[in-house]
Amino acid sequence: MNMKNVIITLFCLTLLTSITFAEFSVPKETIQQITLDSFFDETRTINDNEYLVYSFSGNSGNVINVSIDVVNGNAIDIFLLNSEQFINYQSILLGSSSKDFYFFSIGHGNKIKSKSYSFEFPETDKYYIMIDNTFRPENGAIPSGNVDVKLTITNEGCPSCIKAIEALEEDLRITQKSIESTNEIAKEYETKENNKIPGFNVIYPILIILILFHLFKRE
């Protein structure tokens, strides 16, 4: 075996060893708590064999628009999880579990460099956007160094709540109109009653006065 073949063999063994080591080494976890105001925008560097977690609270019915872009580096994996799903995800990455874990498919991407989606929170809970630059889970992107990733989140509030309020306001307007219409009918009826010929209870005292007047006049 000549020197060239020896060098190539050593290089391949070194590369294989480093990949094997990375696959079985514990990934680095970085968790960042964020608040979902109207707009969030950030670009972060994620190291080789590291996963970055954006953690935030989500209220039922609220909608967010999410955009994730790799601005420098190779493909990554991304996940959108609730609190229970996040615990299962951590177990897999730490090697303490080999079970499949569940995630929201709309916020998932394997071997991607860009993804955008809208998500309505199904319930009030803690939610996690995972940007994964590790060798786990299986069938995902294979890291080859650090990556720079830009995350943008726009909070759209609660469109379904706004629609419900608008529907309630419309019902109130209809009810108010009905009340006004009923009042107008009542006023018309009252006016008609007042314009009628006075009843006997009104005429009777007048008759008594006329009779008395007539009697006194005769005397």
Asked whether the beta carbons of 150 and 71 are under 8 A apart, the reply is yes
pLDDT of residue 15 exceeding 80, the answer is: no
**What is the percent of the chain where pLDDT is above 90?**
46
Backbone dihedral region for residue 61 (phi beyond 0: left; psi -120 to 50: alpha; all else: beta)? left
When pLDDT is averaged across residues 189-193 and rounded to a whole number, the result is 66
User: Given pLDDT bands bounded at 50, 70 and 90, which one contains residue 114?
Assistant: very high
Could you read off the pLDDT of 195-217 as tens digits, one per residue?
Answer: 655 555 666 667 677 776 666 66
Task: Give per-residue burial for 103-116: e unless 16+ CB within 10 Å, then b.
Answer: bbeebbbeebbebe
Query: Do 153 and 172 fall within a single domain?
Result: no
Question: What integer pLDDT is reported at residue 174 of this predicted model?
Answer: 75
For residue 144, report the phi and psi dihedrals to the nearest 5 degrees: -135, 25
Domain that holds residue 102: 26-157
Q: Which residues have C-beta within 8 Å of that of residue 157, sequence separation ≥ 6?
A: 62, 63
Asked if residue 114 and residue 42 are part of one domain, the reply reads: yes
Q: Which two tokens stand for residue 152?
A: 């943008």
Q: How many CB atoms lie within 10 A of CB 131?
A: 21
pLDDT digits (tens, 9 = 90+) for 120-155: 999 999 999 999 999 877 788 999 999 999 999 999
Look at residues 157, 185, 200 and tell me which one is the last residue of a structural domain.
157
Domain termination residue (choose one: 157, 173, 202): 157
Q: Do 89 and 149 belong to one domain?
A: yes
Q: What is the pLDDT of residue 164?
A: 65
**pLDDT given for residue 11 in this prediction:** 46
Domain harbouring 119, CATH code: 2.60.120.380
Residue 9 forms part of a structural domain: no
CA torsion angle 131 137 143 149 (round to 10): -10
Do 97 and 192 fall within a single domain? no
The model's pTM is 0.65
161-185 pLDDT per residue, tens: 766 676 667 677 777 777 777 777 7
Cβ neighbours around 53 below 10 Å, total? 19
Q: Is residue 41 part of a domain?
A: yes
Task: Say if residue 171 is in the same domain as residue 88.
Answer: no
User: Could you give the strand order of the β-sheet that contains 109-112, starting from the edge strand earlier in sequence?
Assistant: 28-33, 50-58, 125-133, 76-82, 109-112
Examine the fold and report which residue of 125, 157, 189 is the final residue of a domain before the chain moves on. Answer: 157
d(C-alpha 15, C-alpha 4), whole Å: 17
In a shared domain, residues 39 and 144? yes
**pLDDT number for residue 139:** 81
pLDDT at residue 38 in the model? 81
In a domain, 117, yes or no: yes
